[in-house]
Homo-oligomer: A and B are copies of this chain.
Amino acid sequence: MHQPVDSLATPRFTGPRTFARLPYVPTLDGVEAAVFGLPWDGGTSFRAGARFGPEAIRSASALLRPYNPDQRVQVFGAVSTIDHGDAPTVPGYIERTLPRLQDFVGSIAAAGVVSFGMGGDHSVTLAELRALAAVHGPLGVVHLDAHSDLWDRYFDLPYNHGTVFRRAIEEGVVDPGRMVQAGLRGSLYAPEDEALAADLGLEAIPWRELAGLSPEAFADRARARVGTGPCFFSFDVDLVDPAFCPGTGTPECGGPTSFQALELVRALHGIDFRGFDVVEVSPPYDGPGQQTALLAATVLYEMLALHARGRADGSAADRRIAATGVGELDDVARRP
């Protein structure tokens, strides 16, 4: 059972930084959940810097402790969790980078390990979706973000952080009928941009609407949308207002507080997530107090708790087997 170093025994500021002081383990035996970095910012249209996102999230995550009182679940110590290191990238070459990211995540998925990615700009999510869909089939998606990331092209080229979900749908790795995105706000190119989600067949909830929903109401809607099949959960930190997450590439003013954002995440239990990511952390634009990295680490921790809850009550695993029949025996067998 992999778990963090005990912070009552040695101070939190001690030792090479891994996520939540978990062991760095380059292999996957005996592992149920793997946290890893996707250090890439070549797909960003404005501020770069997200290649250092994983380093910053690891640094801030030293404050995390094993038990999550909001979700009432033991996160570390109950689920064997590791820091799996970072995927390789090739600065300047997005089309060379995506397959490398995909291979890295693919080996995790193939081992039946649930993946928790630390971005990196949002273009990395395409690689994760490709890798997971190869193992689990087309994925449902819960996507929290200020931007839809459904644009077609920038500068006449297909891959970047604003086109990732359109590409994923076109490639069939995401099932738009089982996808919901929420938190959308900010200026657009044209009125038609508001129709992008509907045109592509997915559900979109603008922040203006989301602001009026309770976390449970939102979660019910998300659960109804994504159903019981295998899913992915992607959290772009620019969902949150720039006061809480200044360290990001394309901030949008006027979003939720961190409390509102965390409550949305915590409410999303009971979904069969096979992979998660938190993206768009750009440390050079963060404050000296690293609030963006700290929130990203906390969101990841809540995601780990969602997974731990699913395991604890068994219901998610059961639904998973019933619904997909893919790789589930291994998945269950792997558990002690």
Render A32-71 as a binary contact track against B, CB cut-off 8 A, 1 for contact: 0000010101111111110110010011001111111110
Minimum Cβ distance to chain B for residue A255 (Å):
7
Q: Any chain B CB within 8 A of the CB of A233?
A: no
Picked from B12, B13, B16, B262, the residue with its CB within 8 Å of the CB of A83 is B16
The answer for the CA separation of A115 and B69 in the assembled complex, in Å, is: 35
Query: Within 8 Å CB of A257, what residues of B?
Result: 241, 243, 257
Q: Is the CB of B253 within 8 A of A45?
A: no
Q: Is the CB of B37 within 8 A of A70?
A: no
Query: Within 8 Å CB of A255, what residues of B?
Result: 258-259
Minimum Cβ distance to chain B for residue A52 (Å):
6
Asked if A67 meets B289 with Cβ closer than 8 Å, knowing A85-B16, A160-B92, the reply is no
Q: How many residues of A contact B (CB 8 A)?
A: 107
Minimum Cβ distance to chain B for residue A264 (Å):
11
Interface 9-residue window, one of A151-159, A173-181, A217-225? A151-159
Q: Is the CB of A14 within 8 A of B41?
A: no
Query: Within 8 Å CB of A96, what residues of B?
Result: 155, 157
CB neighbors of B among A241-266 (8 A): 241-244, 246-248, 250-259, 261-263
19 contacts between A and B (CB under 8 A): A9-B155, A10-B86, A11-B88, A12-B46, A14-B89, A43-B92, A48-B49, A55-B59, A63-B251, A63-B252, A241-B243, A243-B244, A246-B291, A247-B288, A254-B259, A254-B298, A255-B258, A256-B259, A257-B257
Residues of A that sit less than 8 Å from B by CB: 7-18, 24, 37, 39, 41-49, 51-52, 55, 58-59, 62-70, 72, 74-75, 83, 85-96, 123, 151, 153-155, 157, 159-160, 185-191, 193-194, 206, 208, 211, 241-244, 246-248, 250-259, 261-263, 284-292, 294-295, 298, 301
